[in-house]
Structure 1
């Protein structure tokens, strides 16, 4: 079969959702469900908190009503997850850029949870059709459409577990802010001096960033970053709007822009290393 739902989905988390469902052994049912999804039989899909409600057109004149949900995590479980996520800034950066971090599942499993359904009993679904099988082809079609929604917005998957995008971002912000506040308090406590001698430690703001003594050469180490991932990789391709609306032109323009920015990023990194090593920049005959 070569339909859109039998091919790998670009976003790994959306493909993971499909792979998990297909691993439960519903091969024939999901094969029919793919046809329903491909032919547009899912008329609507709405989210009410962590519950999904959809209308799927079957053989009857009136569409069937499908409901689906996963077991939401408790407030305590989410607090552990948020705490773990806040310890790695890359998670917040990627989620804000609309991308699911590759190691996100480790955060949940590390707290004894599973982001994706662990067994078929983790999925609660009902359909108004007369077919006693669960999932029927109408429920299966909704499964595939949910994969599309996850690809568009990874926070939809979190919503099925009980937290909206706004709640997660705000919780991450507060947790990271509290962590920085605690660290600042510890630093202030370590650097505190008795009031009788505080005047001798008054800061001269004009010379705050100046250091007159030479650094011990053996203490200065210039090393490449631990990861090849840059801020450009975190943010992803820049969405450019082309006046004529040609998607192909927009894609090529975005790729060209990213290549240009990567060149600038690489040049800036090289210049920073040369500056740190106190090496003169070689002249190239045409300097900007």
Structure 2
């Protein structure tokens, strides 16, 4: 029987949680805990604010009560973190789509924080069983089941640090909306998460690279800043594989290979546009 806690296809944030816990040196205890988690001994996991309450069936007739929590961030700390998230549109788009951005930890470390437990002393846990060891196998089983919860909803990890999904999304939207009003633009990043396949562009339409970006006014040379983007991710990474429409009556149906070929072609276009933008910026700088 395969071990669900050793699967390579687990979401990276859920696997990171497990890796962090196992790095604390609780190998023997966590081995027993994995068996408990795998066999369904964790009867329930409930959240009371940022704290976790669970019941785990052990050898005794009555289930043991387990509590677990991390140190929550205070209001100022969360304010800095959310502002940092809002500055990077890719983060907002992925979080609104229910996915944890790959380099989300950078936002926390940049603000002197750690999203995942940094040491074993960052985890506060208690069990009603007579075993004096911490974590006992009941607490350890809850650790593993929390990893499953993170896979289902990455915002659960944020909740352990003191902010719910609703609070984070609302704060992100307020910041992005305020920034859009100041710049006189419309915030469209939030719509990426809910875009339907019906709204996808016709892949057979010509790709007008020469008109990809057009601006008729002279740029102020002092405002030209050449710098690498904060993330290598693009909207293509947010949307994932392109769902090409398959016509059953067509002589040749689109395949996954066709979808990947189109994605690669669009990525090449992004690179060309990026290079042209850098050259234009350099020429503008030389002209001053």
Residue 233 of structure 1 aligns with which residue?
237
The secondary structure found in structure 2 opposite 1:40 is coil
Map 1:263-278 onto structure 2 (within 5 A). 263=262, 266=265
> What's the CA shift for 1:127?
0.7
The secondary structure found in structure 1 opposite 2:69 is strand
Residue 81 of structure 1 aligns with which residue?
81
> What's the CA shift for 1:111?
0.4
The answer on whether the counterparts of 2:86 and 2:175 sit within 8 Å (CA) in structure 1 is yes
1:78-121 Cα offsets, whole Å, 9 max, x none, are: 00001111100000111122211111111001001000001111
> What's the CA shift for 1:5?
1.4
TM-score by length of 1: 0.68
**CA RMSD, 1 decimal:** 3.3
> What's the CA shift for 1:47?
1.3
Map 1:79-118 onto structure 2 (within 5 A). 79-118=79-118
Distance 1:128 1:210 in 2: 67
Distance 2:153 2:31 in 1: 25
The answer on whether the counterparts of 1:71 and 1:123 sit within 8 Å (CA) in structure 2 is yes
The secondary structure found in structure 2 opposite 1:107 is helix
Residue 206 of structure 1 aligns with which residue?
none
Distance 2:89 2:54 in 1: 36
Change (3 A) 1:99 1:237: farther
Residue 7 of structure 1 aligns with which residue?
7
Larger Rg: 1
Residue 121 of structure 2 aligns with which residue?
121
Distance 2:167 2:76 in 1: 14
Map 1:29-44 onto structure 2 (within 5 A). 29-44=29-44
1:163-184 Cα offsets, whole Å, 9 max, x none, are: 1111101101111122233334
Distance 2:90 2:150 in 1: 20
Change (3 A) 1:74 1:49: same
The answer on whether the counterparts of 2:54 and 2:65 sit within 8 Å (CA) in structure 1 is yes
2:51 is equivalent to residue 47 of structure 1: no
TM-score by length of 2: 0.68
Change (3 A) 1:210 1:144: closer
Structure 1 outlier segments of 4+, above 4 Å: 225-230, 255-262, 264-270
Q: Which blocks of at least 5 consecutive residues in structure 2 are unaligned? A: 186-213, 219-227, 244-253, 273-288
Residue 280 of structure 2 aligns with which residue?
none
Change (3 A) 1:82 1:258: farther
> What's the CA shift for 1:153?
0.9
The answer on whether the counterparts of 2:236 and 2:263 sit within 8 Å (CA) in structure 1 is no
The secondary structure found in structure 2 opposite 1:109 is helix
Change (3 A) 1:145 1:264: closer
The answer on whether the counterparts of 2:241 and 2:260 sit within 8 Å (CA) in structure 1 is no
Residue 62 of structure 1 aligns with which residue?
62
> What's the CA shift for 1:231?
3.1
> What's the CA shift for 1:3?
1.7
1:182-212 Cα offsets, whole Å, 9 max, x none, are: 3349xxxxxxxxxxxxxxxxxxxxxxx997x
